[in-house]
Structure 1
Amino acid sequence: MVGVVGLGTMGAGIAEVFARAGLRVIGVEADPEALARGRGHLERSTGRAVDRGKLTGGERDEILGRITLTTSRDDLRDADLVVEAIPEILDYKVSLLEDLDRICKPETVLATNTSSLSVTAVAAATGRPGRVVGMHFFNPAPVMRLVEVVGTVVTEPSVVAGITELSVRLGKTPVTVGDRAGFVVNRLLLPYLNHAAVLLDLGLAGRDEIDTAMRLGVGLPMGPFALLDLIGLDTAYEIMGVLFDETRDRRHAPAPVLRELVTAGLLGRKTGRGFHGFHGFPGDETAPREPERVAGVTFGVAGDDTSSIAEALVKAGFAESDDPDVLLRLSDRPVVEHAVRVRRPSSLVGVHLVGDQVAELAATVLTSPEAARAAAGLMAAIGRTPVPCKDRAGFVVDALLYPYLNDAVRMYDSGYASIADIDAAMRLGCGYPAGPFEMIESLGLARVRDGLRALYAEHREPAYAPAPLLDQLVTAGMTAFPRP
Structure 2
Amino acid sequence: MANTFETVGVVGLGTMGAGIAEVFARAGIAVVGVEADPAALERGRGHLEGSTGKALARGRLTEAERDGILGRVTLTTSLGDLADCDLVVEAVPEIMDVKRSLFTELDRICKPSAVLATNTSSLPVTAIAATTSRPGRVVGMHFFNPAPVMKLVEVVRTVTTEDGLADDVAALARRLGKTPVTVGDRAGFVVNRLLLPYLNHAAVLLESGLATRDGIDTAMRLGAGFPMGPLTLLDLIGLDTSYEICEALFAESRERRHAPAPLLRELVAAGLLGRKSGRGFYGEEAPSTPSSEEKPSVSTVAVVGEETEAGGFADRLAAAGFKTAGPEEAELVVALSRTPVARRAVRLAHPDRLVGLNLVGEQVAEVASTVLTSPGAEQVAAGLVRILGRTPVVCRDRAGFVVGALLYPHLNDAVRMHESGYASVEQIDTAMRLGCGYPAGPFEMLDRLGLETVRDGLRDLYAEYRDPSLSPAPLLERLVTAGVRSIRDLPS
Within the candidate set 63, 74, 83, 1:57 is matched to 63
User: Is the 8 Å Cα contact of residues 278 and 284 (structure 2) preserved in structure 1?
Assistant: no
Within the candidate set 294, 301, 326, 2:303 is matched to 301
Q: How far did 1:270 drift?
A: 1.2
CA distance in 2, matches of 1:461, 1:250: 8
CA distance in 2, matches of 1:450, 1:328: 23
CA-to-partner distance for each residue in 1:238-259, whole Å, 9 max, x for gaps? Answer: 1111111111111211111111
Within the candidate set 162, 171, 181, 2:168 is matched to 162
- In the TM superposition, 1:255-334 aligns within 5 A as 255-277=261-283, 291=293, 293-304=295-306, 305-322=309-326, 323-334=329-340
Within the candidate set 178, 191, 205, 1:185 is matched to 191
Aligned residue for 1:306, secondary structure, equals helix
Task: Give the counterpart letter for 1:34 in structure 2.
Answer: A
**Does residue 478 of structure 2 align to residue 472 of structure 1?**
yes
CA distance in 2, matches of 1:143, 1:288: 32
Aligned residue for 2:180, secondary structure, equals strand
CA distance in 1, matches of 2:81, 2:216: 50
CA-to-partner distance for each residue in 1:271-302, whole Å, 9 max, x for gaps? Answer: 111111299xxxx9xx9876553144311111
- In the TM superposition, 1:234-249 aligns within 5 A as 234-249=240-255
CA-to-partner distance for each residue in 1:53-99, whole Å, 9 max, x for gaps? Answer: 10001100001111111111111111111100111011111111111
CA-to-partner distance for each residue in 1:158-183, whole Å, 9 max, x for gaps? Answer: 11000111101100011111111111
**Does residue 88 of structure 2 align to residue 82 of structure 1?**
yes
CA distance in 2, matches of 1:288, 1:155: 52
Equivalent residue for 1:102? 108
Task: Give the counterpart letter for 1:191 in structure 2.
Answer: P
Aligned residue for 1:389, secondary structure, equals strand
Structure 1 consecutive aligned stretches of length 4 or more whose deviation exceeds 3 Å: 287-292
CA distance in 1, matches of 2:291, 2:215: 9
What TM-score do you get using the length of structure 1 for normalisation? 0.97
Within the candidate set 124, 133, 147, 1:127 is matched to 133
Q: How far did 1:369 drift?
A: 1.4
Aligned residue for 2:168, secondary structure, equals helix
Equivalent residue for 2:182? 176
Residues 265 and 156 of structure 1: CA distance in aligned 2, closer, same or farther (over 3 Å): same
Task: Give the counterpart letter for 1:216 in structure 2.
Answer: L
Equivalent residue for 1:405? 411
Number of residues of Structure 1 aligned to a counterpart in Structure 2: 478
CA distance in 2, matches of 1:313, 1:263: 49
Residues 219 and 476 of structure 1: CA distance in aligned 2, closer, same or farther (over 3 Å): same
Aligned residue for 1:276, secondary structure, equals coil
Aligned residue for 1:107, secondary structure, equals coil
Equivalent residue for 1:91? 97
Aligned residue for 2:28, secondary structure, equals coil
Unaligned segments of structure 2, at least 5 residues: 1-6
CA distance in 1, matches of 2:163, 2:145: 27
Residues 291 and 153 of structure 1: CA distance in aligned 2, closer, same or farther (over 3 Å): farther
Equivalent residue for 1:139? 145
CA distance in 2, matches of 1:264, 1:74: 39
User: Is the 8 Å Cα contact of residues 298 and 331 (structure 2) preserved in structure 1?
Assistant: no
User: Is the 8 Å Cα contact of residues 298 and 332 (structure 2) preserved in structure 1?
Assistant: no
CA distance in 2, matches of 1:417, 1:457: 29
User: Is the 8 Å Cα contact of residues 445 and 470 (structure 1) preserved in structure 2?
Assistant: yes
CA distance in 1, matches of 2:484, 2:386: 38
Residues 362 and 296 of structure 1: CA distance in aligned 2, closer, same or farther (over 3 Å): closer
Equivalent residue for 1:26? 32
Aligned residue for 1:479, secondary structure, equals coil
Q: How far did 1:483 drift?
A: 6.4
The range that moved more, 98-107 or 396-405, is 98-107
CA distance in 1, matches of 2:164, 2:145: 27
- In the TM superposition, 1:355-374 aligns within 5 A as 355-374=361-380
Task: Give the counterpart letter for 1:300 in structure 2.
Answer: A
**Does residue 450 of structure 2 align to residue 444 of structure 1?**
yes
Aligned residue for 1:83, secondary structure, equals strand
CA-to-partner distance for each residue in 1:190-225, whole Å, 9 max, x for gaps? Answer: 111110111111100110011100000011111111
Residues 117 and 336 of structure 1: CA distance in aligned 2, closer, same or farther (over 3 Å): same
Aligned residue for 1:157, secondary structure, equals coil
User: Is the 8 Å Cα contact of residues 452 and 464 (structure 1) preserved in structure 2?
Assistant: yes
The range that moved more, 130-139 or 228-237, is 228-237
Unaligned segments of structure 1, at least 5 residues: none
Aligned residue for 1:361, secondary structure, equals strand
Q: How far did 1:412 drift?
A: 0.7
CA distance in 2, matches of 1:318, 1:382: 11
Aligned residue for 1:438, secondary structure, equals helix
Aligned residue for 2:348, secondary structure, equals coil
CA distance in 1, matches of 2:444, 2:206: 28
Equivalent residue for 1:229? 235
- In the TM superposition, 1:197-216 aligns within 5 A as 197-216=203-222
Task: Give the counterpart letter for 2:217 in structure 1.
Answer: D
Q: How far did 1:268 drift?
A: 1.0
Task: Give the counterpart letter for 1:181 in structure 2.
Answer: A
CA distance in 2, matches of 1:32, 1:275: 35
